[in-house]
Amino acid sequence: MFEDLPSFVFFTGKGGVGKTSLACAAAVHLADQGRKVLLVSTDPASNVGQVFSAEIGSRMTAIPGVPGLDAIEINPEEAASDYRERIVGPMRDTLPDKALRSIEEQLSGACTTEIAAFDEFTGLLTDQERIEAYDHVLFDTAPTGHTIRLLQLPGAWSGFLEEGKGDASCLGPLSGLEKQRERYAAAVERLSDGDITRLVLVARPRRSALDEAARASRELAAIGIRNQELAINGLMPEDPEGDGDPLARALAQRDRAALAHMDEDIASLPRVTFPLRSENLMGVDALRRLAEGAPDTEGASDLEGTPAPDPGTPGDGSVLPGLETLVEEVEAPGKGLLMFMGKGGVGKTTMAAAFAVQLAERGHDVLLTTTDPAAHLSETLGGEVPGLTVSRIDPAEETERYRARVLRTRGKDLDEQGRAMLEEDLRSPCTEEIAVFQAFSKVIRESRRRFVVMDTAPTGHTLLLLDATGSYHREILRHSAPRQEGRVTTPMMRLQDPEQTKIFIVTLPETTPVLEAAHLQDDLKRAGIEPWGWIINASLAATGTRHPLLRKRAESELEQIARVREDLAPRLAVVPMQAEEPVGRGELLELGRPQAPSAV
């Protein structure tokens, strides 16, 4: 499976690429070779216990049927909650409620969760007595380069929150780590040691996932973690007959084209490839088949020769609603702000473009404001669309402009150590969200007279940070010169009003992306913002594919589609998997067509 694995192995990659499946299979494979193995899960979407049909939790647990394999699940949300209390608890009797609420919000973001999780598993990395009992320790997730750079910063972290330096910051969460400084230094050093540690970058053979893997590779290599391997998971097999299902054939071609054009930073890495499988990777036997490269024993072959379904229903006779159903509900006022949110790679830009084109086709005046590179969007639209204007925002330019302004104002009186902390703070994911949203905010006022469609949006956590004082401008401009004054306005009332703003959450019909989207929805609700609708993109269940492997995978989508429809989404649209990115007005319009009824 993976050759010559060292003592410590970290699996990293965006949600839904199969990190946990590969980590579990690798752990079983090593244990079958007589090694003593510990599998550690710090993934909030972890289903390790489900994979092994065992109750695991926060204690070392022997895995049934796999002698030599133990597992432990560290819940990062619980770790973050405990971590927050460790920081805030001592302040409860000394700070006013308003200040405490501000600090708690600064500690509610993704950076806090990642740092808290890292705090937990570095305890394992540096607990010599515990790890000496194992030949291998496998982690099903890994820290980002941003978090590790934070941990490497010189100077004191304590006092960062109390002194009001946090703003929309990722440095605030570090205030609880002062006592663990030596442990963190040892953990980061161990991560960088290629003799005992390897980082496995897991990616689907898709352009967006490979781009994300390349970014992670560069970021980690820049801080000395170069002991990397690339794992391509879910490569669509080529049809040996050459005349099979057209969607399957096109997907196989797309996967190989993505691999042929991937960034040289990861193309040069050692690589292992795992083909797309029809079976659900649950249970030790399925994991062993994956590790050994054995064929599936269930699923695809059972469908050989059976009639191909038509696209359209989730198996219970009800029709999967298309994008057009949401467009029809939205268009009545003839104006408004439409914001598309979701993790990277789920298709936000394509969905926003399709929505904008469909509104323009119905005679509305539409402004599509996007962070997508101009050339790519022009290609997607296939030329000008009557009634549709495009406003493009370059995230890199906006972020650099924002950073420069902050360093020029807030950074001018800082010493070398303070400036280093501020510079790292400005590399945080929150910084780009704030910078881009500032640029977006300039066009939001247009939604009073026409439709404004935004292809990305800040998270609820970032919005709460921006609005913590009840003033968008005051919070956004806290880094700016004090003389900048003017009429104070906040986007929160507009974003919280579904008559003015409609939030769409875009996801994929897979376990991890749906779980991440549900977390995003909770995040928004915490900010008083109720998502208006969900879009499940790239659904095989909505295609009517005849290919046995794809049909089996389509069946596996049904549970997630049902969960979104019944428990999460006030409104839902399901968009079929496309063999290639939709290009041109006609294809974007076609995405919105309602699906014909059938059963998978």
Report the DSSP pairing between strands 366-370 and 501-507: unpaired
Q: Which residue has the tokens 């596996």?
A: 556
Closest CA to 168 of 457, 455, 432, 440: 432
Choosing from 13, 14, 15, 18, the catalytic residue is: 18
Choosing from 19, 343, 502, 552, the catalytic residue is: 19
Choosing from 12, 13, 15, 21, the catalytic residue is: 21
Joined together, the tokens standing for residue 484 give 């900048």
In the chain, the N- to C-terminal Cα span, in Å, equals: 33
Residue 409 annotated as catalytic: no
Report the DSSP pairing between strands 61-62 and 69-73: antiparallel
Distance from C-alpha of 94 to C-alpha of 103, rounded to nearest angstrom: 13
Interaxial angle between packed helices 416-425 and 395-409, expressed in degrees from 0 to 180 and rounded to the nearest 10? 150
In sequence order, what are the residues at sequence separation of 6 or more whose Cβ sits closer than 8 angstroms to the Cβ of residue 570? 530, 531, 532, 533
Choosing from 278, 512, 539, 543, the catalytic residue is: 512
Choosing from 12, 20, 217, 371, the catalytic residue is: 20
* Cα dihedral 554/560/562/565 (nearest 10): -120
pTM: 0.77
Residue 378 annotated as catalytic: no
Note whether 266 and 230 are within 8 A (CB).
yes
Residue 43 annotated as catalytic: yes
Tens-binned pLDDT, residue by residue, of the chain (600 aa) = 898 999 999 898 877 788 889 999 999 999 999 999 999 987 665 678 888 988 888 788 999 999 999 999 887 777 778 877 877 888 888 878 877 777 776 676 666 776 777 777 777 777 888 788 999 999 887 655 555 555 454 333 333 434 444 444 454 555 555 556 677 677 778 888 889 999 999 999 988 789 888 988 988 888 788 999 999 999 998 865 545 788 999 999 999 999 999 999 899 999 999 999 988 788 899 999 999 988 876 554 444 544 444 555 544 445 788 899 999 999 999 999 999 988 777 888 889 999 999 999 999 999 998 876 655 677 778 888 999 999 888 888 888 988 898 888 888 888 887 787 778 777 766 677 778 777 777 777 889 899 999 887 666 555 655 554 333 444 444 444 445 444 444 566 777 888 999 999 999 998 878 988 998 898 888 878 899 999 999 999 998 888 999 998 999 899 999 999 999 999 999 999 987 778 788 888 888 765 543 344
Q: How far is CA 273 from the centre of its chain?
A: 22
Supply the pLDDT for residue 98: 76
Residue 18 annotated as catalytic: yes
Q: Which domains does the chain have, with CATH numbers?
A: 8-296 (3.40.50.300), 323-590 (3.40.50.300)
Choosing from 43, 140, 255, 425, the catalytic residue is: 43
DSSP notation for 322-338: -HHHHHHHHSTTS-EEE
Distance from C-alpha of 38 to C-alpha of 56, rounded to nearest angstrom: 12
DSSP 3-state of 146: helix
Residue 123 annotated as catalytic: no
Sheet holding 228-235, edge to edge: 61-62, 69-73, 37-41, 136-139, 8-12, 197-203, 228-235, 271-275
Residue 16 annotated as catalytic: yes
Supply the pLDDT for residue 66: 95
Closest CA to 171 of 398, 399, 420: 420
Distance from C-alpha of 561 to C-alpha of 576, rounded to nearest angstrom: 12
Joined together, the tokens standing for residue 45 give 């979407």
Distance from C-alpha of 526 to C-alpha of 468, rounded to nearest angstrom: 13
Supply the pLDDT for residue 540: 93
Residue 512 annotated as catalytic: yes
Neighbour tally for 560: CB within 10 Å: 23
Note whether 575 and 536 are within 8 A (CB).
yes
Neighbour tally for 296: CB within 10 Å: 17
One-letter amino acid for residue 426 of the chain: L
Going 180 to 41 to 17 to 576, the CA torsion angle's sign is: negative
